[in-house]
Amino acid sequence: MSQPVERGDIANPRARFERDGRPLRTKLFEQMMLIRRFEERLLELFGEGELFGTTHCYIGQEADAVGVINHLQDGDIIFSNHRCHGHFLVYGDRPELLMAELMGRVTGVVGGRGGSQHICFENFYTNGIQGGFMPTVTGMALAEKMKGSGNIAVAFIGDGTLGQGVLYEALNMASLWSVPLLVVVENNRWAQSTPVERELAGDMVARGRAFGIDAGEIDSTDAEELFGHFGDIIAKVRNEQRPHFEVIHTYRLCHHSKSDDMRPEEEIERFRKDEPLIGARAWLDEDEARAIEARIEARVEAAVRWSREQPFPTPRHLDERVARPAPMAFEASASDAGEGA
């Protein structure tokens, strides 16, 4: 059951998640289905020429986003990367705003001018320069500590980012300043077209510990396991106001961008057997799983239909700030499309 989204819920995933009284597994499966179907639809739209720029999908990594972001509350900060769709959908639960953005519409999350890699919405930010945002998010975490807000910042990076020098400058300062920053490394085992064993020397977790930062790792595509694992970590970062560095060993089931996949087929098929949606669907009975899939399909199609109806930005929009309140008119069209059934 998808609930109507009030304005105040957009930046408060934890409150929204807790208010949904359904079993944990049901909620996690529905969120992951939204990410999966949204991105599958994106790839279809890209092939039909309806998207601008390129797109980097998160297919196979959905359990990471639901395991981490559902613990974040109003005021917490997320800095994501080029592979951000799953992070945004769990953060804001507003697929229509992201769809309109990727279709270049003026009612998109940043006015149709940012795409996936330049989102600035509430406390959710993205940038496609790997590691480039780490000094920024470290400073944001420091600001929250100086304000005494109790908020934390979360940075999502990939294994390829571990080869960027600016990351280590940021970790050094995060440790010296003891800022409430959680760095989540999503090791999907490939940096674009290079396997991790050919682009990274040494130990991932040791990189965090080298700066005196608490660090750990988990090898899982189980959303329930990741949700429990990160609950304790995020509580510690918030309560102790210190950084933490955590590696999730996962796998990207889709190509890096579109048609640039040179990975061995047998490797992909091996990891596909452990993909998060299959395991999560098995938690539910068949009728419940099918009802969720139908609801998500209707919701994504409503987002596509609404986005197609939105205008493109014009020169007069250049003077408008890109971070602005979300359009509220969508609730009616989403409801008409079957959301909440």
User: What is the total count of domains within the chain?
Assistant: 1
Residue 204 has a pLDDT of: 97
117: nearest Cα among 107, 125, 128, 108: 128
Please give the structure tokens belonging to residue 193: 């077209």
Q: Is residue 18 part of a domain?
A: no
Other CB atoms within a 10 A radius of the CB of residue 41 amount to: 17
3-state secondary structure of 301: helix
Cα-Cα end-to-end distance for the chain: 7
The pLDDT, as a whole number, for residue 208 is 98
Alpha carbon 135 to chain centroid, angstroms: 20
Amino acid at 150: G
DSSP 90-148: HHH--HHHHHHHHTT-TTSTTTTSS-GGG-EETTEEE-SSTTTTHHHHHHHHHHHHHHT
* Domain presence at residue 81: yes
In a domain, 159, yes or no: yes
> Are residues 297 and 37 in contact, defined by beta-carbon separation less than 8 angstroms?
yes
**Dihedral pair phi/psi, residue 167, rounded to 5°:** -60, -40
pLDDT score at 339: 38
Per the domain annotation, does 10 fall within a domain? no
Look at residue 137 and tell me if it is in a domain: yes
Give me 169's structure tokens.
């400058």
Instruction: Supply the range of the domain harboring residue 205.
Output: 27-309
On whether residue 290 sits in a domain, the answer given is: yes
Region of 57 on the Ramachandran plot (φ > 0 left; ψ -120 to 50 alpha; else beta): beta
pLDDT digits (tens, 9 = 90+) for 139-159: 999 999 999 999 999 999 999
Contact between 208 and 245 under an 8 Å Cβ cutoff? The reply is yes
21, burial (CB in 10 Å: exposed 0-12, middle 13-18, buried 19+):
exposed
pLDDT at residue 52 in the model: 82
What is the predicted pLDDT for the residue at 8?
Answer: 59
CATH number of residue 297's parent domain: 3.40.50.970
C-alpha neighbours within 13 Å on the C-beta side of residue 141: 31
pTM of the model: 0.91
Determine, yes or no, domain membership for 45.
yes
Q: What are 91's two structure tokens?
A: 């953060």
CB 213 within 8 A of CB 244: yes
What's the pLDDT score for residue 54?
A: 84
Please, are residues 125 and 78 in contact by the beta-carbon 8 Å criterion?
yes
Instruction: From first to last of the 341 residues of the chain, give the pLDDT tens digit.
Output: 334 444 557 889 999 999 999 999 999 999 999 999 999 999 999 989 999 888 899 999 999 999 999 999 999 999 999 999 999 999 999 999 999 999 999 999 999 989 999 999 999 999 999 899 999 999 999 999 999 999 999 999 999 999 999 999 999 999 999 999 999 999 999 988 889 998 899 999 999 999 999 999 999 999 999 999 999 999 999 999 999 999 999 999 888 877 678 889 999 999 999 999 999 999 999 999 999 999 999 999 999 999 999 999 988 887 776 655 544 444 434 443 433 33
Task: Answer yes or no: is 315 within a domain.
Answer: no
Q: CA 104 to CA 311: how far, in whole Å? A: 9
The CA distance from 211 to 174, in Å, is 9
**Coil, strand, or helix at residue 273?**
coil
Tell me, rounded to whole angstroms, the distance of Cα 320 from its chain centroid: 26
